[in-house]
Chains A and B, each alone.
Chain A
Amino acid sequence: QVQLQESGPGLVKPSETLSLICTVSGDSVNSARYHWSWVRQPPGKGLEWIGHTYPSGNINYNPSLKSRLTISVDTSKNQLSLKLTSVTSADTAVYYCAAYEVGAGGRGSWGQGTLVAVSS
């Protein structure tokens, strides 16, 4: 089973760029079996889908974040990355990476999540 581990700074200043890495083990980020995904959860609030990849290489983004967001895959390091620019306190959240099996309607694996606070 694929395993995922998020990493990144726990604190980012307002207006700066939030950068996170998800290290994948147990399969390749090149695998056509998965949609590689990011989900976030502000403290005390619900889950928000951020975006996901397709085996074709296409990436879908949450429209509310699209103008500030980049999701990419680094095959040499077997990692998924997220970059969110011009952050505000509203971007404070636990960020999860997840591998959803293609066509499986929700089956897959999740990382444990990493908390990112936006504060000066």
Chain B
Amino acid sequence: DIQMTQSPSTLSASVGDRVTITCRASQSLSHWLAWYQQKPGKAPKLLIYKVSNLESGVPSRFSGSGSGTEFTLTISSLQPDDFATYYCQQYLSYLWTFGQGTKVEIK
């Protein structure tokens, strides 16, 4: 099974900050990685697919990058609507797995 490790688990930041979340995989994923945003009581919302492709309707302040086993989600200027929990998910293996999540809190 491919293990996904996100860091940090919690991140405290202010509006306007640049925020970076990292996801490390136990083996190379090629381009089969996505990022989701989840708010309390809501289903996850896709932000980025195939490592770096911005989903339609997602603000351009979100970006994804990386290759092999290390990937990052960057929010260039944190907005009030961005305080949420973020998850990565791999689709390489036939057993899909999520990272454990990163909660972005108000500093």
Residues of A with Cβ closer than 8 Å to B? 37, 39, 46-49, 52, 60, 62-63, 96, 100, 104-108, 110-113
Tell me which residues across on chain A come within 8 A of B43, comparing CB atoms: 96, 110-113
B87 contacts A105, C-beta separation under 8 Å: no
A108 to B38, CA, bound (A): 15
**Apart from the given pairs A37-B96, A47-B98, 18 other A-B contacts in the complex at a CB distance below 8 Å:** A39-B44, A39-B98, A46-B87, A46-B100, A47-B38, A47-B87, A49-B97, A52-B96, A62-B95, A100-B91, A104-B50, A105-B51, A105-B53, A105-B91, A106-B33, A106-B49, A106-B91, A110-B43
Count A-B contacts at CB 8 Å: 61
From B1, B51, B89, residue with most partner A Cβ within 10 Å: B89
19 A-B pairs within 8 Å (CB atoms) are namely A47-B87, A47-B89, A47-B101, A48-B98, A49-B96, A60-B95, A62-B95, A63-B95, A96-B43, A104-B49, A104-B50, A105-B50, A106-B33, A106-B34, A106-B49, A107-B46, A108-B46, A112-B42, A112-B43
Scan residues 12-51 of chain B and give those whose CB is less than 8 A from a CB of chain A: 31-34, 36, 38, 42-44, 46, 48-51
Q: Distance (Å) between the CB of B10 and the closest chain A CB?
A: 13
Complex CA distance for A39 and B98, rounded to whole angstroms: 10
- Residues in A neighbouring B38, C-beta threshold 8 A: 47
